[in-house]
Structure 1
């Protein structure tokens, strides 16, 4: 499993759910101050994405590569029209291997010059992932014309 945050969780989920090797996705809240957060009450939590993947078909590094292509990692607490720490770019790190891989990919992203600035993506320790309300799950499948600011901006960094 991998845990990412890169703005509104609807758009992130919609793009990742169809990636090769991704078995399942779930949107939720992570990295905040309260238990049992809700959309109306999630102080400090990011709108996050839980990705269950088959590591024989994709890798954490490849998921990170895609993550940095579908949202702007250089904007602090903002994606598209969404503003605030809920929309921060963050990776929720579960072990030293993930941390090392994340640092490596961020360096590649920064050195590529594709983004106008440097990534402000935070590496935060994994904490409890709280699933979001049912109406948020697979939102853009249910409402294909719903809001998203996520899209593939360019090809692989790897």
Structure 2
């Protein structure tokens, strides 16, 4: 999605310090998004959030529940307005928990850019573009490619993005072949 600067998977929403995937306690798995408000606004991000899952369904566990965490009163007001609009449009009550973010804990490395990291023959070249793992995790390139290899996006967006990324022809072809299967 245009305007997203970096994304990181992690845990938040609970009280127990230092959660991990194996010991998540009272936290939920979340994604932290840094974005450029000159390119995409908060309302559009919320629109994507509401439409990317069923926020009216009861979660089967706290780990995978629908949750929105805000940083300030302005974000809270925008979330509430957006939630109300979703409820009016769908005719259903939203069960998404909405609360202030206390602390975000970054997930373990193997959870970051998960789909991309599990595409042998592609990830090696992308990882080689960055001096350390955190640079890879925080990169817009890795985030966008992670989405594509997960089957998200459009071929038009992919072609526009891939033209800006300096990948080998072989790796580009591997991604295209994968997208043909996924799409």
TM-score bucket of the superposed structures, by smaller chain = 0.7 to 0.9
User: Structure 2 matches for 1:146-157, cutoff 5 A?
Assistant: none
Q: CA deviation at 1:151?
A: 7.1
Which consecutive segments of 4 or more residues in structure 1 shift more than 3 A?
Answer: none
Contact 1:71 1:151 in 2 (8 A): no
Q: What is the alpha-carbon distance in structure 2 between the residues aligned to residue 53 and residue 31 of structure 1?
A: 21
Q: 1 or 2 for the larger relative contact order (CA 8 Å, sep ≥6)? A: 1
Instruction: Give the strand-richer structure, 1 or 2.
Output: 1
TM-score by length of 1: 0.72
Match of 2:44 in 1: 62
2-structure distance, mates of 1:133, 1:90: 20
| Structure 2 residue 31 is the aligned partner of structure 1 residue 20 | no
2:15 to 22, 27, 33: 33
The offset of 1:35, in angstroms, is: 1.4
Equivalent residue of 1:97, what SS? helix
> Higher Cα Rg: structure 1 or 2?
2
Q: Which residue of 2 aligns with 1:142?
A: 117
- The answer for unaligned runs of 5 or more in structure 1 is 1-18, 78-82, 145-149, 153-158
Q: How many residues align?
A: 123
> Which residue, out of 73, 77, 84, partners 1:100?
77
Post-superposition offset of 1:112: 0.8
Q: Give the C-alpha shift of residue 32 in structure 1.
A: 1.3
Alpha-carbon displacement from aligned partner over 1:98-156 (angstroms, at most 9, x marks no partner): 0110011111111112xx73211111111110000000000012236xxxxx979xxxx
Q: Which moved more, 1:117-126 or 1:49-58?
A: 117-126
Deviations 1:45-74 (A, max 9, x none): 010100010010011111000000111101
Unaligned stretches of 5+ in structure 2? 120-150, 154-183
Measure, in 1, the Cα distance between the counterparts of 2:92 and 2:103: 31
- Relative to the length of structure 2, the TM-score reads 0.63
Higher helix share: 2
